């Protein structure tokens, strides 16, 4: 089996375009040889996601991990024709530990990519790109810009909601230097914006998202996600199918929920740090704030800033979908930029295939 897999790897090539949204990288996978989905049944995008994860994870490792990628690389695998009848393209999201269900920074980049690279017909000043994500159909718009206004992209989220607010939730976190455990009592939101996030002010953990070292923030967030995931069953929510029911990341905030400007930092997957304010995280934050009456459907954009890079996304409440379930749609806006393009290849005999991580 290993010999057959290694032979397959040595024949791999992937045509890619690289972009970033608010500093967060995106590697767009345009074509793969051999095609890992060639023999798969395209019954649904979630079925393709399971197929890629279970049977063809070599593609993710090849594109995302070292030596062609890095621990914080993020990728979007374009699938055409789309699985959804109303979509221009379907997309699977790949990260250092697997496959996510939604990615706002990727959607923002793909709106520009779609309008610029012929994925759809460009219709300045606004080009709509309908993108099927694992969480559902997302309608994105590329705003072309002109001499007076820079270009940007925006999207309207899938239905988002505050799942629950947890008060007096006790966790034990290990201090890396002393190896001693400290018990903390926390209050946090669990919110869904296409993916599930734990959201809480960093000060509850004794942390500062502006000044504390990223390694320390990663370590605490990873412990916190594991502790909460082991005790909170998000699959109980009848609004979501099982493929979407897992806690994806932890968002540490400056505590200024509902204000016009707020800083945050998201740690997701296996300790991956978002360089942007996190598009689906902005969605989840606005949904939680709406449920608490901190924001209204007033058309006002709120600024969300990454505490380390200073990069910005805008978010606002777009629509109240269902009062009974508390679901809303959120509009998120940001800017994306092309950074490169090329072909990733595998040379015969390369011992570092299909990719690796250094921890």
d(CA 135, CA 46): 9
d(CA 197, CA 195): 7
**179 burial level (CB within 10 Å; 0-12, 13-18, 19+):** exposed
CA distances 81 to 37, 182, 201, Å, are 12, 52, 42
CA distances 239 to 17, 160, 161, 309, 321, Å, are 35, 10, 10, 34, 13
For residues 69, 73, 79 and 84, what is the CA-based torsion angle, rounded to 10 degrees? 170
Query: Which one is catalytic: 103, 135, 221, 266?
Result: 103
DSSP codes joined into one string, 196-212? EEEEEEGGGGT--TTTS
Which segments of 27-159 does DSSP mark as H helices, in order? 45-55, 57-64, 104-116
Ramachandran bin of 4, using left for φ above 0, alpha for ψ from -120 to 50, beta for the remaining angles? alpha
135 included as an active-site residue:
no
Q: Pairing between strand 126-133 and 89-95?
A: parallel
d(CA 193, CA 323): 17
- Taking the CB of residue 83, how many other CB atoms lie within 10 A of it? 17
Q: Which residues are catalytic?
A: 103
């Amino acid at each position: 089996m290993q010999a057959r897999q290694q032979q397959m790897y040595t024949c791999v090539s992937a045509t890619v375009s690289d972009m970033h949204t608010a500093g967060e990288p995106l590697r767009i996978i345009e074509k793969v040889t051999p095609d890992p989905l060639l023999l798969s049944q395209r019954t649904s995008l979630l079925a393709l996601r399971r197929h890629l994860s279970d049977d063809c994870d070599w593609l993710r490792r090849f594109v995302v991990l070292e030596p062609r990628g890095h621990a914080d690389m993020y990728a979007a695998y374009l699938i055409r024709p789309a699985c959804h009848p109303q979509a221009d393209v379907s997309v699977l999201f790949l990260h250092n530990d697997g496959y996510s269900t939604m990615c706002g920074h990727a959607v923002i980049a793909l709106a520009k990519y779609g309008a610029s690279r012929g994925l759809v017909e460009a219709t300045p000043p606004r080009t709509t790109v309908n993108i099927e994500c694992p969480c559902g159909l997302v309608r994105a718009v590329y705003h072309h810009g002109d001499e007076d206004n820079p270009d940007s992209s925006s999207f309207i989220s899938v239905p988002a909601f505050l799942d629950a607010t947890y008060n007096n939730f006790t966790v034990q976190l290990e201090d890396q230097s002393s190896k001693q455990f400290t018990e903390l009592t926390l209050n946090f939101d669990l919110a869904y914006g296409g993916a599930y996030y734990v959201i809480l002010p960093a000060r509850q953990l004794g942390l500062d998202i502006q000044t504390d070292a990223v390694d320390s923030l990663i370590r605490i967030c990873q412990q916190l996600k594991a502790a909460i995931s082991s005790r909170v069953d998000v699959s109980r929510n009848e609004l979501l199918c099982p493929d979407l029911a897992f806690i994806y990341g932890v968002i540490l905030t400056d505590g200024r929920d509902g204000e016009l400007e707020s800083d945050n930092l998201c740690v997701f997957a296996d300790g991956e740090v978002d360089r942007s304010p996190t598009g689906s995280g902005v969605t989840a934050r606005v949904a939680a704030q709406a449920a608490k009456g901190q924001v209204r459907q007033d058309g006002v954009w709120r600024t969300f800033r990454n505490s380390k890079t200073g990069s910005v996304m805008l978010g606002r409440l777009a629509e109240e979908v269902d009062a009974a379930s508390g679901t809303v749609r959120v509009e998120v806006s940001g800017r994306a930029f092309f950074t490169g393009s090329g072909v990733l290849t595998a040379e015969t005999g390369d011992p570092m295939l299909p990719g690796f991580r250094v921890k």
